[in-house]
Amino acid sequence: MANHRADRMSEDIQRELSAIMREMKDPRVHDGILSIVRCDMAHDLSFCRVYISSMNGLDTAKKAAAALKNAQGFIRRELGTRLKLRYAPALAFEATDSIEYSANISRILMDIDLKPIDETEETDGIDNT
């Protein structure tokens, strides 16, 4: 059975974490374009794993994840007050390279030279009658 409450809570946490990250003063968090890729919430809402990605690469994302880990107490308290939670979940930050990976795929797809299909061409000798 799907846990809809955990899904809703992970969306709320993702939204509030991005707002908290914008307000933080740590330069490691503002070093590049950071994005929260996803939040995996435990079914009992006690633990949340947050995946961070950066346009500048995996090294920048790792530095930002380390900065967020150092500020984990502050972030957890802010989440608790903003979402009006009795118990704020414990947070674990992990760096991923998903934004860089998707940008690379997009770049490869843009480089592919596609020639238009001519409608008057024969269709491999297949008769569609």
Tell me the CB-side half-sphere exposure of residue 61, using CA atoms within 13 A: 21
The answer to whether position 125 is within a domain reads no
pLDDT in tens, 49-107: 999 998 888 888 899 999 999 999 999 999 999 999 889 999 999 999 887 788 788 88
Could you tell me the CATH number of the domain that includes residue 69?
A: 3.30.300.20
The answer to whether position 116 is within a domain reads no
- Distance between terminal CA atoms of the chain? 49
The answer to whether position 41 is within a domain reads yes
Residue 86, domain extent = 4-109
What is the rounded distance in angstroms from the CA atom of residue 46 to the CA atom of residue 54? 27
The answer to whether position 120 is within a domain reads no
The tokens of 25 are what? 């003063």
The answer to whether position 115 is within a domain reads no
What is the rounded distance in angstroms from the CA atom of residue 32 to the CA atom of residue 90? 25
CB distance 48 to 91 below 8 Å: yes
Question: What's the whole-model pTM score?
Answer: 0.75
The answer to whether position 73 is within a domain reads yes
